Amino acid sequence: MKAAGAVVRAADIEAERTETGATIRLLLNTGGGGAGLVRTMVDVPASGEFVGTAGAGGELWFVVWGAAELKMDGEQGPELSQDRGLLMPPGVAYQVTVGSAEPLRLDVVRLPSAISEPASTPDNAAVPRSPRTADLADCDVETTGDRKFRVLFGPGRGCEVATQFVGEIPPGRAPEHSHPYDEVVMILAGVGVAHVGGAEHALAPGTCLHLPPGLLHCLENTGSHSLRVLGVFHPADSPAAKLPSHG
């Protein structure tokens, strides 16, 4: 029996406020025991901080808006800026400090621990502890049908176990389809309707979807501008990969 997936709105999720001023919303958890993708939305106010430790499988971050300073294990890390993706190493301690100008919003997807890359070597030799970064503007534009996407991380792009991408869906509706991977999607901009498993769900910024392997779906853009989506899925593949239609 195929999983039914889920559709949630960030505004409907109760936020946990940390002592450092950040708010965290757990949006989706696709599997228990560390076996699935876990998506959270992190908002850090101006002059606030966000501290924590990356999961055992590592994490894929995306800066939705804002800018901040990042330290990892006490060392200076890369700057956080809008439309930047980061692959955080497993188990690294991080500290995100936001300046006084504007707040920060982070999309954080914890990767399954079952697919983590080795975190140490037998002799405990040094392992890269700095994140890999990818800026959306530097990523190649790829197309599938009339839809465009840019892959920040994936096979051959710094991450062999999962894919992170931003897609642009023009006004209109494509045929329903399914993918061979487990995917979490968040709407960044635009409006539309998600046709998922025979049901319809309104789409707006902050709407998140879980699309398990084999689940028929279609994201329809009902607006006059592009529907912009942020997706993460595993196992890693191309966002254009689809399962054969049997209908």
3-state secondary structure the chain: CCCCCEEEEHHHCCCEECCCECEEEEEEECCCCCCCCEEEEEEECCCCEEEEECCCCCEEEEEEECCEEEEECCEECCCECCCEEEEECCCCEEEEECCCCCCEEEEEEECCHHHCCCCCCCCCCCCCCCCEEEEHHHCCCEEECCEEEEEEECCCCCCCCCEEEEEEECCECCCCECCCCEEEEEEEECCEEEEECCEEEEECCCEEEEECCCCCEEEEECCCCCEEEEEEEECCCCCCCCCCCCC
* Percent of the chain with pLDDT strictly greater than 70: 91
Q: What is the pLDDT of residue 3?
A: 62
Identity at 12, one-letter amino acid code = D
Residue 125 banded pLDDT, cuts 50, 70, 90:
very low
Longest dimension (CA), the chain: 57
Sketch the domain layout of the chain as residue ranges.
Answer: 13-116, 136-234
Q: What is the mean pLDDT of residues 199-207?
A: 96
Q: What is the pTM of this model?
A: 0.91
Instruction: Please tell me the CATH code under which domain 13-116 is placed.
Output: 2.60.120.10
114: phi then psi, degrees, rounded to nearest 5: -65, -20
Q: What is the pLDDT of residue 175?
A: 82
CATH fold match for the domains 13-116 and 136-234: yes
Q: What is the pLDDT of residue 118?
A: 43
CATH class of 136-234: mainly beta
Could you read off the pLDDT of 88-124 as tens digits, one per residue?
Answer: 999 999 999 999 889 999 999 999 985 444 444 333 3
